A and B are shown apart, each in its own frame.
Chain A
């Protein structure tokens, strides 16, 4: 007869997911899946809206990586009006640097949120700790000083986003052909030097190093478990510059295998020639894969671990040092250790901080040449944008008609790219921790969630698409009157 165990909802991740595990009579795992249970429908309802609304609208897919969606959309619009990468022209240097600054700030903020608020509790308390303890309340009870620093670090990242994008969330600065504001000297100095209630740039770098140290300590104590946790080979995808190093804002898509050989490399405007998507009945999230390799072998891993496996070097000194240690650990091969994603994430926090510091000292941020307005005849009506979002490679693709109204939108988000590897992780952890145990505990099930959290999945992002018709759902208002009933078609 066997049994079924459900994790519902998966917590300390963004968005809505659940896990089901089927066990046989001897508690051997028969099946384990991550289901994404939400549905929204952006691709359809954005149609008919003016093209310039897209970056404002589509960033509402996700409250944690909104800058990525905003910029990805802006890059599509650049293409559309005739100044994007596909046109061979280019927005101004200042505009690109301002967009990059916002992007790096979000990377910092998003990774800090995921790492410290969502992931660190296990690193400090262990996977079997009481569920009531494994969270920010527990951190505060155990180590208030650390929480203060984390709060300060996240706040600083949000302040950079606000200075660049106009709001702490769902910003408004990127427009077709550039950005609508530069960074004032006062805003810059405030971020560099700090003020009452706001830490300085150098403190940010210090705190980021603390975060990395936290991983090293945790790793030292738990090396065997951390290294063997959901370890399996996968292809790795990242955007790269001409030197083959990660570029978070622009580049070619590069996919490498376990020996870091390039499997595919292409201009993202050609993505449809390379990627297909599978669908399963049990999840609203699709399963992308490389056409040439097929569904079984062609799915990729994106995000911090994928990027660090692809990239050869960083331009900033502290992050480069950390990257060398990271690469050295797997002797030049790809790192397939799922929990090392958190190591990679901590390195990226430091790298983003250093990149921000470089940019804040760049006088181009104060220049006034911010928007390119090409003649109407340059209108192409179609565009594709890609960025490396905190969770991995994110792609937007829209078409608009002559009037400028959107007629088509396709989005391939990072969490969706990771769908297959996340499901493999779920299975691998279930096998390792549950298989054959007489008593299945909450802590064992939490191990599965730990595996999922390593990807920092954004299940909100993954459910932009639309899903199944309902059977019969009746809704009553607060007074008990029926306000909706929908019957399956």
Chain B
């Protein structure tokens, strides 16, 4: 993606905003900072995080979620201890985001098959992009007859990578939680270990490989 460097371009999160209550914010700041990102995945792993159910309330006493698609915090505000990464790398924006996470987070976790090895989206690695393109926009059965096929291409769309990559092929990842998605129990175990300063110990009974 061409970087928006134009002085007339602004991001919504840089505009003046209502300030958070300082006491509440100070409390959050004392906690372990966690950033979450969904790259090329289905959002399932992010939702599996919600499957930790009532334990989330205890967990959130120890950790604070900063940047995440569940919050409106759109950039990592300050150095984070833990990064929760769903999805593999499928476009240049994913690469930038992942690298930015690596630079700003201590512990990177690949959560789910997509992050761990590319997952279902990596099935496109067997097909040429040209074929994919033709299938979707030229052979489209719903296309208007007689209309010239339009293929999305725009400076506001990130360019797609040739193949889909697991996160650890792009940056170093520290932990891997397999599964599509991993159960909430597995996600909880890893986060709870880290939040309590224990060595991560994910028993095989909690891992799955579907």
Contacts and interface: CB of A to CB of B under 8 A. Distances in A.
A127 B76 CA distance: 22
Given A410-B142, A442-B17, A473-B161, A467 B168 contact: no
A468 B153 contact: yes
A114 to B, nearest CB: 11
Interface in B48-62: 48, 50-51, 53-54, 56-57, 60
Nearest to A15: B43
Contacts of B70: 11-12, 117-118, 135-136
Contacts of A167: 210
A169 interface: yes
A5 B48 CA distance: 33
B162 A2 contact: no
A12 B136 contact: no
A60 B8 CA distance: 39
B103 interface: no
B120 A60 contact: yes
Interface residues of B, number: 96
A38 interface: yes
B89 interface: yes
A469 B129 CA distance: 7
A478 interface: yes
A132 B13 contact: no
B152 interface: yes
Contacts of B200: none
Nearest to A129: B18
B199 interface: no
A25 B118 CA distance: 45
Interface string B151-175: 1111011111111010011111000
Interface string B16-50: 11111100110010000000001011111111101
A185 to B, nearest CB: 25
A272 interface: yes
Contacts of A275: 142
Interface string B75-95: 000000000000001111101
A128 B120 CA distance: 39
Contacts of B181: 63, 169-170
Given A1-B8, A439-B16, A470 B171 contact: no
A38 B90 contact: yes
Contact of B72 (A12, A15, A19): A12
Of the candidates A7, A63, A489, the one having the most CB atoms from chain B within 10 angstroms of its own CB is A63
Contact of A39 (B69, B90, B120, B163): B90
A57 B161 contact: no
A135 B65 CA distance: 10
Given A468-B159, A478-B171, A284 B152 contact: yes
B156 A151 contact: no
B12 A151 contact: no
13 contacts: A2-B8, A3-B10, A35-B156, A39-B91, A62-B44, A133-B24, A168-B184, A170-B180, A170-B210, A279-B150, A440-B15, A470-B160, A484-B161
The 3 closest A-B pairs by CB, nearest first: A63-B44, A442-B17, A486-B162
